[in-house]
Structure 1
Amino acid sequence: MADGKIEAQPAVLLDQLRALVANPEAFASDRQEIIALARQAAVALEEPFETLQRLVYSPLPLITARVAQDHKIFQTLLENKDAPTSAAVLAQKTGIHPTLLDSLLEYLTTQNMVGEVSPQQYTPTKLSNLLVAPLFVDAVVHFHDNCLPAFNALNFSLAHPSDPRTPFEIGHNSPTDFYTWLETHPVQAGAFHRFMEAQFASLPTWLDVVSFPDEYAQSASPETPIFVDVGGGIGQQCVALKKKFPSLQGKIILQDRAAVLEKAIVGDDVEKMPYDYLTEQPIKGARAYYFRQIFHNNNDATCQKILASLLPALGPSSVILIDEKVLPDEKPSGTSVEYTAALSLAMLAMFKALERRESQWRKLLGDAGFEIREIKKFTDYGDSVIVAVKK
């Protein structure tokens, strides 16, 4: 070190990077900082032309992953994982013309989705294995088929603020919103719903921070409405609540559109009720009205209507439980910020909505006649339960 500056030692850095690639587990304790610095270093070292190429071709990893999945490139490589697979065999299996396949495989190798051990001889990589896992297959289908046209229309939407359509509706040339559109696109609907369920399967949930029987079901009779899952889809959270607290006393009610309730997975111990959350809530005085990922699909004006429809139903013992991300007002560093920032843009593209910061939640609920009693965070990505009551 000279003059307070760290002496550059490229050879040492290269050795450390090779060690990291060979044994990433040894660097796990500093994982987030290393990733952040590695990205900054890559950008700092790029020539302007390289920066341009990175930006303009940025959609291609998702697009080529979708092509490779759909044409079974990864599956074919994994079937022959004990030996390389030739380009000729891949052309036969995929039905892609050899000349076109050559360009595709060349790009896939640059993204480490495929390995080339010798000219025209290919092997699977760690990423190949990931991309055939159900979660990754569904994620790629969802973001490629459902979200990519919406992302592409985002700039047009922002340039035409008076256009009432969402970027999703513009990009898909759809007269209906995303959820209605899914009803006539079963492949994309299946991928979306499976992805939404699977991506959270290994993470904590609201039930890890809420002791529901003690907090909301004390002295409840069998006829006491204790849990109303508003817009609850096919009832995953009702099932999770019953599984977590099997001896729970009181009525559990699942509300959604009739077409959605037809696919519900709940048993006879859960009441199914067709309901539009923009109309007055018919269940009065329930202990808890639960909303999971409803508000981030809607702009502030629509959220105010949802809350106004609920407010008259609340009794003195009622709370509203909002299961959503609560982003900090002060932006922390780390890779989680990239994820939540991208997710917020996805909400903008799909619904003209956003992920909200704590101050935005407090204003939204305060303006609607509620006050926040507490916010219980249960993941490192801001997933939280907002407990609110009538003012």
Structure 2
Amino acid sequence: MANRIRASFRKSARSPRAGDGKHRKDVLDSLQELRNSIEKLDDTVQRFTFYNLQMAALRVGIDLSLFSSLVESEKPLAVGRMLRYLASFGAIKETEKDTFTSTNISSTFALLGFQAAICHYANTALQRAFNTTQPAFFWLQTQPEKLALFQEYLTTNCAGMSTFLDAYPVREHPTALHPERVFFVDAIAFRNRYRDLAGRVVVQDLAPTLQHAIQHAGVEMMEQDFFQLQGIKGAKFCYFRNIFHDWPDNKARIILQNTIEAMAEDSIILVDDMVLLNAGVHWQAAQLDILTMTMLAARERTQEQWDQLLQSAELKATSIQTYTASLEDSVIEAAPV
């Protein structure tokens, strides 16, 4: 069906009426209706909640004269992270890894009059918006209503989606563990999936967050600051879900080193996070990278960047299992070098 619709639109675009303003608008409206009718819940949320980042990215492109540079130069421009995001929603075109050129959108915003529209609408980062010098997640601990909304969103956003449990081969690892040994640190979903496996399952977080945690008979709750030494010694699996993308490399390295100190010989660190492609990053993944940069001074990492981070903590990735397409959500199995 989708192929028939695309063919119809191509034929319509080549028709004598294609240059007619109303006809062109009708085609665009029909494409939008098609998109709206087939996208899933998380696609809709991702699209609407990140429109402000597209505006901000266009403003950065204007401030740095990126669009006019691309339009005026015959040579592709080689820059990194911000251009990758602009390319993900079509503002510019990625020709190869970290290399970009102009599109009709960048040609539009190379014009002063249209730059003015973008410059009129601009947003700010978290510290400026809320007049705080605290890092985002420290500040959030002082805002119980906002913290509750954040947790509610995360819970809803993940509902029905694939998880690392759909990709990671837990049963391939030795499971003849003593019932008192901590088998897994940090997930209720793990206990629900593997009720038959021996060992304790513990969820760790800061006290304000644990107050909102879902209680489970087979899961223990434990207060833990991951910037301090890990309080559980010798756990089989230490699992981090969307933790490291909230922190720059120097902070992420501290978290990893505090965990390594507590590992047994057969312990494994599981990092559940996005592993970006080195080129051609999907717009949903690219916009999350820009969000982490502007709000947290952090990043979504490519496989190369994950390798560099792990190596800096004297770890290596022994496997990477990807379980979502657009976001490249993946579980990285890491062990000491």
Q: 1:138-153 maps to which residues of 2 (within 5 A)? A: 148-150=123-125
> Partners of 2:313 and 2:15 in 1: how far apart?
59
Q: In structure 2, what is the equivalent of residue 382 of structure 1?
A: 328
Q: In structure 2, what is the equivalent of residue 275 of structure 1?
A: 224
Q: In structure 1, what is the equivalent of residue 119 of structure 2?
A: 56
> Partners of 1:198 and 1:261 in 2: how far apart?
18
Q: Which ranges in structure 1 are unaligned for 5 or more consecutive residues? A: 1-6, 30-34, 60-147, 151-167, 230-237
Normalised to the residue count of structure 2, the TM-score between the two structures is 0.68
Q: In structure 2, what is the equivalent of residue 18 of structure 1?
A: 26
Q: In structure 2, what is the equivalent of residue 139 of structure 1?
A: none
Q: CA deviation at 1:211?
A: 3.4
| Among 177, 182, 191, the residue aligned to 2:135 | 177
> Partners of 1:277 and 1:56 in 2: how far apart?
40
Where relative contact order (Cα < 8 A, 6+ residues apart) is larger, the structure is 2
> Partners of 1:10 and 1:57 in 2: how far apart?
37
> Aligned AA for 1:332?
G
Q: For the Cα contact (< 8 Å) 1:296–1:324, is it kept in 2? A: yes
SS of equivalent residue, structure 1 residue 242: helix
Could you list the per-position Cα deviations for residues 224-262 of structure 1 after superposition, in whole angstroms to 9, with x for gaps in the alignment?
A: 211012xxxxxxxx2212222333321101112223223
SS of equivalent residue, structure 2 residue 261: helix
Q: In structure 2, what is the equivalent of residue 369 of structure 1?
A: 314
| Higher radius of gyration, 1 or 2 | 1
- Seen in structure 2, the aligned counterparts of structure 1 residues 289 and 57 have a Cα distance that, compared at 3 Å, is same
> Partners of 1:38 and 1:180 in 2: how far apart?
36
Q: Which ranges in structure 2 are unaligned for 5 or more consecutive residues? A: 1-12, 40-88, 94-102
> Aligned AA for 1:51?
F
> Aligned AA for 2:172?
E
> Partners of 2:273 and 2:173 in 1: how far apart?
19
Q: In structure 2, what is the equivalent of residue 254 of structure 1?
A: 203
Q: 1:1-391 maps to which residues of 2 (within 5 A)? A: 11-12=17-18, 15=23, 18-19=26-27, 21-22=29-30, 24-25=33-34, 36=90, 40-41=103-104, 44=107, 48=111, 51-59=114-122, 148-150=123-125, 168-212=126-170, 214-216=171-173, 218-229=175-186, 238-329=187-278, 331-332=279-280, 336=282, 338-380=283-325, 381-391=327-337
SS of equivalent residue, structure 2 residue 273: strand
> Aligned AA for 2:308?
K
> Partners of 1:300 and 1:47 in 2: how far apart?
35
What value does the CA root-mean-square deviation take over the aligned residues? 3.3
> Partners of 2:312 and 2:124 in 1: how far apart?
34
> Partners of 2:201 and 2:192 in 1: how far apart?
13
> Partners of 2:241 and 2:322 in 1: how far apart?
14
> Aligned AA for 2:332?
I
SS of equivalent residue, structure 1 residue 313: coil
> Partners of 1:315 and 1:47 in 2: how far apart?
57
> Partners of 2:144 and 2:208 in 1: how far apart?
14
Count of aligned pairs = 263
> Aligned AA for 1:221?
H
> Partners of 2:16 and 2:291 in 1: how far apart?
39
Could you list the per-position Cα deviations for residues 295-339 of structure 1 after superposition, in whole angstroms to 9, with x for gaps in the alignment?
A: 11111111121111111222222110001111122x116xx2x33
Q: For the Cα contact (< 8 Å) 2:191–2:218, is it kept in 1? A: no
